[in-house]
């Protein structure tokens, strides 16, 4: 199991297993809230999805996790600063999706966070808005589509990226076109390098959440599928 630009380890949709010291607590509380009600989602390609899930799982343990552990040679405040920077540059995109959903208070809050963190927070390296009530807005184009009644469609597992749906895959594609990283890198090589640094750094802050899922779930594939679908619906309903 690996990473989504919202995947199960870290995602821009707010399903963030790698948020720091409290990520396992967040996982446990989320599990308690949703484990009793399986998500309803069409999964006609479950065999193929499970195969991709297995490949992602192997890549996670063979490559991503060792690289993330190696990243820990940097002090945690430095890695948190990198994480803050990437979160900050995604603020205009999140604010834009909030605007499309007519959530103007959330849009204003996210833009205010962006302004403060980009200036006082030294380009976003420091989240000076933390603890001020200006909580980060988690909005993406997949949620925007869901807000206007477009259903998730089929469940799919993306190579390298993890769990998704047809709606969310379309949403991720649209968001990617307006991603500041995409817009400010000259070559695909540069883009992949920056994305890899972002992913590995975020995973370095994780407390082995995916390992906990594998250890505690009878069927990690079903658990992740159900949790992902239910969590996405919670975000849409907010």
| pLDDT (0 to 100) of residue 40 | 80
| pLDDT (0 to 100) of residue 131 | 86
| pLDDT (0 to 100) of residue 8 | 38
In tens digits, the chain (238 residues) has pLDDT values of 443 434 433 334 444 433 333 433 444 444 444 454 566 899 999 999 999 999 999 999 999 999 999 999 999 999 999 999 999 999 999 999 999 999 999 999 999 999 999 999 999 999 999 988 899 999 999 999 999 999 999 999 999 999 999 999 999 999 999 999 999 998 999 999 999 999 999 999 999 999 999 999 999 999 999 999 999 999 999 8
DSSP of the chain: ----SBTTTTBTTS--TTSSTTHHHHHHHHHHHHTTS----B-TTHHHHHHHHHHHHHHIIIIIHHHHHHHTTS-HHHHHHHHHHHHHHTHHHHHHHHHHTT-HHHHHHHHHHHHHHHHTTTTTTS-TTTTTT-PPP---HHHHHHHTT----BEEEETTTEEEEHHHHHHHHHHHHT-HHHHT-SSHHHHHHHHHHHHHHHHHT--SHHHHHHHH-S-HHHHHHHHHHHHHHHHHH-
Name the pTM for this structure.
0.83
| pLDDT (0 to 100) of residue 123 | 95
| pLDDT (0 to 100) of residue 238 | 86
| pLDDT (0 to 100) of residue 37 | 56
| pLDDT (0 to 100) of residue 38 | 60
């Amino acid at each position: 199991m690996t990473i989504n630009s919202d995947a199960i380890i870290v995602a821009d949709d707010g399903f963030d297993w790698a948020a720091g010291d409290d990520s396992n607590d967040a996982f446990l509380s989320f599990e308690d809230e949703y484990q009793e009600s399986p998500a309803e989602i069409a999964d006609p390609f479950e065999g193929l999805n499970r195969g991709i899930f297995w490949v992602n799982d192997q890549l996670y343990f063979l490559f991503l996790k060792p690289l993330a552990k190696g990243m820990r040679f940097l002090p945690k405040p430095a890695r948190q600063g990198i994480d803050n920077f990437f979160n900050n540059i995604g603020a205009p995109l999140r604010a834009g999706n909030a605007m499309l959903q007519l959530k103007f208070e959330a849009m204003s809050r996210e833009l205010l966070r962006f302004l403060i963190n980009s200036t006082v927070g030294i380009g976003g390296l420091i989240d000076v808005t933390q603890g001020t009530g200006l909580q980060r807005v988690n909005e993406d184009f997949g949620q925007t589509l869901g807000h206007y009644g477009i259903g998730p469609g089929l469940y799919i597992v993306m190579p390298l990226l993890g769990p998704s749906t047809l709606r969310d895959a379309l949403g991720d594609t649209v968001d990617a076109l307006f991603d500041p990283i995409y817009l400010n890198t000259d070559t695909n090589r540069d883009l992949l390098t920056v994305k890899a640094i972002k992913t590995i750094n975020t995973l370095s802050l994780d407390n082995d959440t995916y390992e906990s899922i594998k250890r505690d779930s009878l069927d990690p594939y079903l658990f992740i599928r159900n949790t992902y679908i239910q969590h996405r619906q919670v975000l849409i309903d907010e």
